[in-house]
Amino acid sequence: MAKKMLLNAPITEGDGEHARFFAQPVRLGKNGVEEYLPIGQLSDFEKQSLNGMLDVLKKDIILGEEFINK
């Protein structure tokens, strides 16, 4: 039986809670990402920081996609 592996928050593309590309813990198996794991309990400061950067992150993702599709 192959062991499953946990990577420490790689940036992945998926249907994440926050953005299409986001760094979060995942469980990997022989076929790649098997499960997206929650980022865990955040402090009030971390929650505020996360919420403050999401609009910029989403806009940057769109800019990156537009650039590669030219």
Q: How far, in Å, CA of 19 to CA of 34, rounded?
A: 18
Instruction: Give yes or no for residue 1 having a pLDDT over 60.
Output: no
The predicted-structure confidence for 16-57, as pLDDT tens digits, reads as follows: 788 989 888 888 888 888 888 888 899 999 999 999 999 999
The fold adopted by the segment(s) 5-68 is L-2-Hydroxyisocaproate Dehydrogenase; Chain A, domain 2 (3.90.110)
What pLDDT sits at residue 38?
86
What pLDDT sits at residue 2?
63
What pLDDT sits at residue 4?
66
End-to-end CA distance of the chain: 44
What pLDDT sits at residue 6?
64
Q: How far, in Å, CA of 25 to CA of 34, rounded?
A: 11
Taking a C-beta distance cutoff of 8 angstroms, is the pair 23, 9 a contact? yes
